[in-house]
Amino acid sequence: MLVVAAALGVAFSQTVLAAPAAALAGNPLATASSLPFHYPAFDKIKDEHFIPAFNEGMRIQLKEIDAIANSKAAPSFDNTIVAMEKSGALLTRVQTIFGNLQGANTNDKLDAIDSEMSPKLAAHADAIYLNAKLYARVKSLYDKRTALKLDAESEHLLERYHTDFVRAGANLSAADKEKLKAINGTIAKLQTTFTQNVLKETNASGLVVDTREELAGMSPAAIDAAAAAAKAKGMDGKFLVAVVNTSGQPPLAELTNRAVREKLMALSLARGSHGGEFDNREVVLKIAKARAEKATLLGYENFAAYSLEDQTAHDTASVNKLLSELAKPAVNNAKKEAADLQAVVDADKGGFKIGAADWAFYTDKVRAQRFAFDENQLKPYFELNNVLTNGVFYAANKLYGLSFKERKDLPVYNPDVRVFDVFDADGKQLAIFIADMYARSNKQGGAWMNEYISQSSLLGTHSVVANHLNIPKPPAGEPTLLTYDEVKTAFHEFGHALHGMFSNVKYPRFSGTSVPRDFVEYPSQVNEMWAVWPEVLANYAKHYKTGEPMPKELLDKVIASKKFNQGFLTTEYLSASLLDQRWHQLTPAQIPTDVLGFEAQSLKDMGVDFAPVPPRYRTTYFSHSFSGGYSAGYYAYLWSEKLDADTVEWFKENGGLQRKNGDWFRAKLLSRGGTDDAMNLFRNFRGRDPVIEPLLERRGLTGK
């Protein structure tokens, strides 16, 4: 459910001014599309157009950057910062279209282009950020920023550019720049080793048993698959159960033999830390050390401080506060859940204490007792077109006055993709919305939003945004019926779309969803509330054959069942988030020598060392934390959810689904993109800092 950023790595965005180069004669990417809002000419763009456009795009932007850096004119906001904002039009266009198509509609050629271009694009970004002359101009402007008397958005942009350069190492001495490059190289190599070890260890860690009986509880098909997997590895006659890269393993919910469950759990938890060629303990220590050294070199206390400074949370103290506020209620709740499970064990005369290996098995038993219903009963009330037009669009109309008109004249990359003009309350066209809802084998998993064109008044552009889901396509002639989770996802992704479409900013650097990682999920999570808002629900949740409204007790059961097991889910997530922070809040001198000892002590210190609920990822297979993407950032999901839950309360307190509420949220937050500090935007909207109680309530963690 993430947002794919419009530009990859390079912050500078598009302009309509770039001249088409001779090298791109006949290439539709050479110039901005002449279709409405520069909607991409999908019918004309071919795979072979990308590489020449990438190369030309980088060449032109470097020329533009060199001209800015070497200008004889004294640096001004316009000839330096605004000029950078206008640079790279072609590169932005090709990166945006390429990245989006590779996610939504890829093939071997596009994948190969990606492998070829990624390192080149990274080097391109370095060539800009480590350009000393360019940085000197940025810094001279930054140093006298008050005297420049810029408007608020422009001043924030200047600060943002300065920050981007500094964070990339622009302020370092030449010698330290070389050191940083070397550390970056070391980190990149170690991260690759860590990632490969996790994958190889996962593949090597399957549970092997001698008899079919030991796998009792698993389906016959799954047991046959285990037999085939063992045979393929030269263990004819045995059974091999594969593992996935979380501490918990899906078969644990099914296996009736407790000793087998315990064996599976134990081998899962030991991955990467029991010796052998894929042991990650040394790698973890080296990564933690290299990241800490990088942070030190850049002037930060530790790597988490470096990483968080650029996030909504800002500093380690805020993240530590959120995580510790949740730790106690989460663990208390997990302990209550454990007592419920223990009661079932005792009733069965099990004669053992519930452990991590037993949790999923007994949770499924309790769940079946409490919530006797089949979720499939809901599906006839969730027909896709109804959900989209009478649910998602309806809520946007009631809240923001938006209206939608489907158009069939624009080209699409797949016949199932739908295109809508989006009109504002005053009748003016606001954006174009692309709905790509069905699963395909050439589409990445999950759901996401992306932008083909970002709004910017400097460039005169309006949003062209897309939502992508992975709903299985029914056979021809049959209706597309959604699960409750898919309905929520449709509302969620449209929340990202609104964030993009409502963008009302000058500079492309700040457009729409160009906000911190721990903030971007907030507006989309808020939009989920309308999926079950009574007035919205009544408008769309109708039986696809009879038109009858969905029975309320059915929906209530679904919603109630989602609160179940929250103590476990929150605790395992929280433990992993805490480990992620602990490892990245160390100075180089504090890096321990004993990975597992440090892990155990950290969990104990934070009060989350409850053995039946191990961290969702232990250190040695925690790819989010040690492979790159979410290092010191695994907390981000909960951080966004705290803002979300508090905002849902605000809507409820103020009368819910009403134009005045939608307009306020739009004016204060959704339209502002990254033009201000994200927490300022929240405070301007909410009138105060966020509070934790609504999140506790939602996750059933209030202790009531």
Task: List active site positions.
Answer: 493
> 402 or 490: whose CB is closer to Zn ion?
490
Longest dimension (CA), the chain: 86
Task: Tell me how far apart the alpha carbons of residues 275 and 436 are, in angstroms, rounded to a whole number.
Answer: 46
DSSP character string of 52-84: HHHHHHHHHHHHHHHHHHT-SSPP-IIIIIIHH
Q: Which of residues 627-646 bind Zn ion (CB under 5 A)?
A: none
What separation in angstroms does the CA of 87 have from each of 15, 70, 128, 139, 192?
7, 15, 11, 19, 33
Choices 189-197, 311-319, 517-525, 568-576; region in contact with Zn ion by CB under 5 A: 517-525
Task: Say if CB 576 and CB 584 are below 8 A apart.
Answer: no
> 499 or 584: whose CB is closer to Zn ion?
499
> 28 or 673: whose CB is closer to Zn ion?
673
**Number of other CB atoms surrounding residue 390 within 10 Å:** 17
Residue with the CB atom nearest Zn ion in the bound state: 1
Q: Does 470 bind Zn ion (CB under 5 A)?
A: no
> 100 or 619: whose CB is closer to Zn ion?
100
Tallying the residues shown for the chain, one arrives at: 704
Choices 178-186, 320-328, 524-532, 643-651; region in contact with Zn ion by CB under 5 A: 524-532
Q: How far is the CB of 528 from Zn ion (least distance, A)?
A: 10
Q: How far is the CB of 451 from Zn ion (least distance, A)?
A: 14
Q: How far is the CB of 446 from Zn ion (least distance, A)?
A: 9
> 201 or 521: whose CB is closer to Zn ion?
521
Q: How far is the CB of 4 from Zn ion (least distance, A)?
A: 10
> 494 or 507: whose CB is closer to Zn ion?
494
Torsion angle of C-alpha atoms 327, 333, 335, 337, degrees rounded to 10: -140
Amino acid at 97: I
Tally: H helices and E strands in the chain: 26, 8
Bridge partner residues of 419 (DSSP) = 407, 434
> 4 or 356: whose CB is closer to Zn ion?
4
Q: Does 1 bind Zn ion (CB under 5 A)?
A: yes
> 121 or 670: whose CB is closer to Zn ion?
670
Q: Which residue has tokens 């594969």?
A: 242
Task: Tell me how far apart the alpha carbons of residues 624 and 97 are, in angstroms, rounded to a whole number.
Answer: 27
Q: How far is the CB of 623 from Zn ion (least distance, A)?
A: 20
> 278 or 530: whose CB is closer to Zn ion?
530
Choices 48-56, 133-141, 515-523, 557-565; region in contact with Zn ion by CB under 5 A: 515-523
Residue span 366-405 as binding mask against Zn ion, x where in contact by CB under 5 A, dash where not:
----------------------------------------
Task: Say if CB 400 and CB 662 are below 8 A apart.
Answer: yes
Task: Say if CB 400 and CB 569 are below 8 A apart.
Answer: no
Choices 1-9, 43-51, 266-274, 478-486; region in contact with Zn ion by CB under 5 A: 1-9
Task: Tell me how far apart the alpha carbons of residues 471 and 343 are, in angstroms, rounded to a whole number.
Answer: 39
Q: How far is the CB of 492 from Zn ion (least distance, A)?
A: 6
Task: Say if CB 488 and CB 528 are below 8 A apart.
Answer: yes
Task: Say if CB 304 and CB 581 are below 8 A apart.
Answer: yes
Choices 13-21, 271-279, 514-522, 586-594; region in contact with Zn ion by CB under 5 A: 514-522
Choices 364-372, 433-441, 522-530, 540-548; region in contact with Zn ion by CB under 5 A: 522-530
> 521 or 644: whose CB is closer to Zn ion?
521
Q: Does 532 bind Zn ion (CB under 5 A)?
A: no
Task: Tell me how far apart the alpha carbons of residues 13 and 510 are, in angstroms, rounded to a whole number.
Answer: 10
- Nearest CA to 598 out of 571, 612, 580 is that of 580
Residue span 550-579 as binding mask against Zn ion, x where in contact by CB under 5 A, dash where not:
------------------------------
Amino acid at 31: T
**Number of other CB atoms surrounding residue 574 within 10 Å:** 26
Task: Say if CB 513 and CB 496 are below 8 A apart.
Answer: yes
Q: How far is the CB of 524 from Zn ion (least distance, A)?
A: 4
Task: Say if CB 584 and CB 295 are below 8 A apart.
Answer: no
Choices 19-27, 520-528, 628-636, 658-666; region in contact with Zn ion by CB under 5 A: 520-528
Task: Tell me how far apart the alpha carbons of residues 265 and 251 are, in angstroms, rounded to a whole number.
Answer: 10
**Which residues does 444 contact at the CB level (< 8 Å), separation at least 6?**
103, 104, 106
Q: How many residues bind Zn ion (CB under 5 A)?
A: 3
- Nearest CA to 675 out of 142, 151, 163 is that of 151
Q: How far is the CB of 496 from Zn ion (least distance, A)?
A: 6
> 436 or 521: whose CB is closer to Zn ion?
521
DSSP character string of 443-470: S-SS-EEEEEE--BTTTTB-EEEEEEEE
- Between helices 595-605 and 281-297, what is the axis angle to 10°? 70
User: Can you tell me which of 100, 312, 524, 577 binds Zn ion, judged by CB under 5 A?
Assistant: 524
Q: How far is the CB of 441 from Zn ion (least distance, A)?
A: 23
Q: How far is the CB of 622 from Zn ion (least distance, A)?
A: 22
Q: How far is the CB of 493 from Zn ion (least distance, A)?
A: 7
**Which residues does 196 contact at the CB level (< 8 Å), separation at least 6?**
none
Helices (H), 24-151: 50-69, 83-86, 89-104, 108-129, 132-143
Which chain residues interact with Zn ion by CB under 5 A? Answer: 1, 521, 524
